[in-house]
Amino acid sequence: MGIVRLRRNHHAVSALLLSVCPAAPAIASEADELSGELAYTADVLVGEGRSGADYVDNLDLTLTWQRGDTQVFVYGLYNNGRDFSGPRYPRGWVASNIETGVQAARLYEAWIDQSFADGKLSVWAGLYDLNSEFDVLEAAGLFINPAHGIGTDFSQSGRNGPSIFPVTSLSLRLQAQLGNRTTLRLTVLDGVPGDPAHPKRTAIKLGKGDGALLVGELERQVGDWRLIGGYWRYTAPHEDLLDSARGTAPVLRKGAQGAYLRGEGRLAGSREGRGLDAFFRLGWADQRFHEVEKFASAGLRWHGPFAGRPGDEAGIAVATSGSGRRARQALALSGEAIARRDWAFEATYALALTEWLTVQPDLQYFINPAFEQGRRAWMGGVRVTLGWSF
């Protein structure tokens, strides 16, 4: 799952840093810049299979300290943990990108970023959300279904997921500008974020056998289009789905990996302001270890669909996942049959009422959700977002 990143504006509010970063008094000066953001997101959701509505919410607080080429970032979040999708859509299907199933307040990110060579080279270390920079597109950020954040082929990976919302891990990230139109990103992360046995805790733990998650991404600007290609791989062995199902004990093998290609671009209108953007994503994961082998998504996003409301946004999108042959064979051994493909369709409209308040009706329709053969399902709701910068 993914969550839309808060904007990182920089305004001088020096007193807040002292309570978050103990090292600050030794380095703070009049040249320092400190900014913060507070955002509250709430979804009121309804769907078939259960009466009434569910209320899912998420509170984000970020603090950013900047001095020259050095940036320190701290991000805390709270989530009420309501499970809307679980009782309605089986086998791990999630309809909202702020659902966690666990009520918790946690330290989400805490990192330092050091830039060199006039910003062309950047080194980033600390507790880090992989999806804040990798496998992410601005045009897809409007949508509530988490498949339009990080792709399902990638988000399903790992023994506790990759380092994404709501549980992150330690990482080291390198970013380099290769000319005016090309950017290279490389990162190494703890292979098992948090502590799976204690999901409410903020656990910074490098456990024996966790291994590492390695991710590389190349971004290229081609005309009005931004194209991204990425590859990921875990160093620790993972469970082979079919061979484990055939035996009496888990069979572990190395090689859990995947790749993705995604892009976004302006189709009509000016490059800034009102206009129509399109986006797409293709993804693949090794079917020996992952139920979702193939993934594809695409969508359209209108900025200012009506002349009198330039701050509004509207969008339609579709995402589809393909189950791997070995996963289907493994489940068949226990008498469970799954579909070869599932689909999620979404239509949404974000109404910008003020600079700090957005109301967003959303409707989703699912075919074979989480590969449940022959199932048709729907979700409707309203997202309310309040945000302040200081």
Q: Is 346 a member of any domain?
A: yes
Q: Is 227 a member of any domain?
A: yes
Q: Is 356 a member of any domain?
A: yes
Q: What is the pLDDT of residue 90?
A: 73
For 323-380, write each residue's pLDDT tens digit.
999 999 999 999 999 999 999 999 999 999 999 999 999 999 999 999 999 999 999 9
Q: Is 8 a member of any domain?
A: no
Dihedral, 221, 148, 1, 44 alpha carbons, nearest 10? 140
For 68-101, write each residue's pLDDT tens digit.
999 999 999 999 999 899 888 877 789 999 999 9
Q: What share of the chain is helix, strand, coil (3-state, %, to 5)?
A: 10, 50, 40
pLDDT-derived band at 144 (thresholds 50, 70, 90) equals very high
11, pLDDT greater than 60: no
pLDDT-derived band at 17 (thresholds 50, 70, 90) equals very low
261, pLDDT greater than 60: yes
Nearest one of 38, 31, 29, 41 to 9, comparing CA atoms: 38
Q: Could you give the number of structural domains in the chain?
A: 1
Q: Is 4 a member of any domain?
A: no
Q: Is 7 a member of any domain?
A: no
Report how far apart, in Å, the C-alpha atoms of 211 and of each of 75, 101, 233, 236 are: 25, 26, 11, 5
106, pLDDT greater than 80: yes
Q: Which domain holds residue 284?
A: 14-389
Q: Is 2 a member of any domain?
A: no
- CA-atom Rg of the chain in angstroms: 21
Q: What is the pLDDT of residue 31?
A: 66
How many other C-beta atoms are found inside a 10 Å radius of the C-beta of residue 145? 25
CATH number at residue 165: 2.40.160.180
Q: Is the peptide bond before 166 cis (omega within 30 degrees of 0)?
A: yes
Q: Is 203 a member of any domain?
A: yes
